[in-house]
Structure 1
Amino acid sequence: MRNKYGAEYITSNFSYSILEIFDKKTSRDTVLSRESYWKGVLRTIEFGMNDN
């Protein structure tokens, strides 16, 4: 996307937030489960750019 629209487009149209912090011992399955949870809560599959 950066090459197509440029860095200014990204900084003007996207925001990032840290929702959870995990330590290095956290299992991959836990992290993926929590990612799915937040996609559901924030409805990013329906209204955002997450299509997975």
Structure 2
Amino acid sequence: MLTIHQSIPLQGIANVVISVEVSRLNEELDDLLDGLRRISGVRRVQMIGQG
């Protein structure tokens, strides 16, 4: 499952929340987060919760 929520951009920057079901992930979660951090324009990647 994947859910994406983006706020209204202010001064050219918007917050984006991505919810991902990772139970069947084929790679390490840290590798996924590092990949997101390397995307141009991404300022911060933070894992908020894990169940």
TM-score, L = length of structure 2: 0.35
**More strand, by proportion:** 2
**More helix, by proportion:** 1
Query: Of the two structures, which has the highest relative contact order with CA contacts closer than 8 Å and spacing of 6 or more?
Result: 2
TM-score, L = length of structure 1: 0.35
